[in-house]
Amino acid sequence: MKTKKNIWLWVVIGVIVIVGVVLLSSNLKQQKTLKDESQETVPWINSELKDVRTGETFKISDFEGKPVLLESFAVWCPTCTKQQKEVKKLHEELGDSIVSVSLDTDPNEDESKILAHINENGFEWYYAVSPIEMTQALMSDFGNSIINAPSAPMVLVCKDGSYRKLGGTGARGVDRLKEEIARGC
């Protein structure tokens, strides 16, 4: 009798283990699929932007394989300018191994104001006016704080296309930015 109970116990344990492995593997497969689908459908990553300095068009998704720092800003915001000065230092240290995109989300500003701002400060990375659809998509993903210029909101898009909003508010120093990039997504 004990032997039959032991056999049935091992059969039940074996079935539970097999069901667990099957469920786990299908769940992992589903997560990868959902991740791939979400990257393809993230509107702000695939929004076409116009670089204010060069006139060339680009998308955040064009930079896959490199980390991208996306900053929401306004020309009138002193915290934003302070943050951009730290990004300038970051590029002096890291060069082109990182891509920076400063996205003006203030609907009252235009390309001429942005161009004057970047020329006055010697900023040399991508700058664009955020199309309303992109601004709305960013707010949908990150909340309204993503367009609160004085909080210096930033998003890190990692090499694999995953992304996260950087924590904290205010200008982040170059060392903090390097830590965030090293940490990844």
Name residue 142's amino acid: F
pLDDT at 3: 61
pLDDT at 40: 53
User: What CA–CA distance (Å, rounded) separates 68 from 76?
Assistant: 24
2-16, 37-51, 67-81: least confident range? 2-16
Confidence of residue 161 (pLDDT cuts 50, 70, 90): confident
Grouping H, G, I as helix, E, B as strand and the rest as coil, residue 165 is: strand
Place of tokens 């104001």: 113
Write out the two tokens for 5.
């109970």
Which residues pair with residue 73 across a beta bridge?
104
> From residue 93, how far is each of 52, 88, 123, 127, 174 by CA, in Å?
24, 9, 14, 20, 9
pLDDT at 2: 56
For 85, residues 6+ apart whose C-beta sits below 8 A from its C-beta are 121, 171
Class in CATH terms, 49-183: alpha beta
% of residues, the chain, pLDDT over 90: 70
9-23, 24-38, 141-155: least confident range? 24-38
For 65, residues 6+ apart whose C-beta sits below 8 A from its C-beta are 159
pLDDT at 139: 94
In contact, 121 and 157? CB cutoff 8 Å: no
For 56-61, what is the mean pLDDT? Answer: 95
